[in-house]
Chains A and B, each alone.
Chain A
């Protein structure tokens, strides 16, 4: 599997470290149901078939976090962007 890094170009998957699900959002720690929502945020993961948003870290290249949309059935990469929205190529 090759991931087209927005800075480095297409690179072998073994240059990257996988963090996982990019669809979960950190809950409000001050909310009254924080214990339950944090438990879900930390532990509960869907196991979708098909396109899935994931965080990948380009550890051996530009050392940036990427948000990658990968088809979990075929490993086709459908979209890649820097995880940090304001990051641009230079």
Chain B
């Protein structure tokens, strides 16, 4: 499949279009830019922090899970550590800063990642070529998240909460400067099933 990408600069995102087989086994969409922040609880403060978030209608998941509530998706990345994402520009970190006061450190991550939503009937066999986490529905379901290495790129991804096991959608938060490499891996891995890319414009 190397020929397929030979004329595309490795430093740029792939352009929108159809790659590989004529079917549409895997779809990826670059999500419009929103805002993001990391949240790290002070030692011993995780429980108090979760309680304060719950009062504000937000859910801080215990463990590697993604929880969407009130326009903010909070993803567990480690003990007492979360990434927060919002669809709207400029919402984070402001939205969670007052909740973290005295209990956690908040850092703006709005420009750190590009977000790809990956779905389609053959999404699991395509992702299995680089995702070392078991994505079988018995092991990884809606709302489950993982921070891991995919094709040498360290990233966080999760299965979108309301997507069923037979038609899952995953969101990959990919470090911005590694996104071209990630997308080339995804296109090459999904090409045999047919791969449709949108949201990236001319790449």
Contacts and interface: CB of A to CB of B under 8 A. Distances in A.
A49 interface: no
Interface residues of A, number: 19
Contacts of A76: none
Sort chain B's interface into a size bin: 20 to 34
Contact of B132 (A11, A86, A87, A88): A11
Chain B: interface secondary structure?
A: mixed
B148 A7 contact: no
A89 B43 CA distance: 13
A62 B44 CA distance: 17
Given A60-B149, A64-B79, A90-B79, 7 more contacts: A8-B147, A9-B133, A15-B148, A61-B148, A62-B81, A86-B43, A88-B46
B94 interface: no
26 contacts: A7-B79, A8-B64, A8-B146, A8-B148, A9-B133, A10-B134, A11-B132, A11-B148, A12-B132, A14-B149, A15-B132, A15-B148, A15-B149, A60-B147, A61-B146, A61-B147, A61-B148, A62-B78, A62-B81, A62-B147, A63-B77, A89-B63, A89-B79, A90-B46, A90-B79, A90-B80
List 8 tightest A-B contacts by C-beta distance, closest first.
A62-B78, A90-B62, A60-B149, A12-B132, A61-B147, A60-B154, A90-B46, A87-B79
B44 A86 contact: yes
A61 B147 CA distance: 5
A87 B45 CA distance: 11
Contacts, number: 56
Nearest to B140: A9
Contact of B50 (A11, A86, A89, A90): A90
A62 B79 contact: yes
B8 interface: no
B78 A64 contact: yes
A56 interface: no
B79 to A, nearest CB: 5
Interface in A1-36: 7-12, 14-15
Interface of A: 7-12, 14-15, 60-64, 82, 86-90
Interface in B41-75: 43-44, 46-47, 50, 62-64
Contacts of B147: 8, 60-62
A15 B149 CA distance: 7
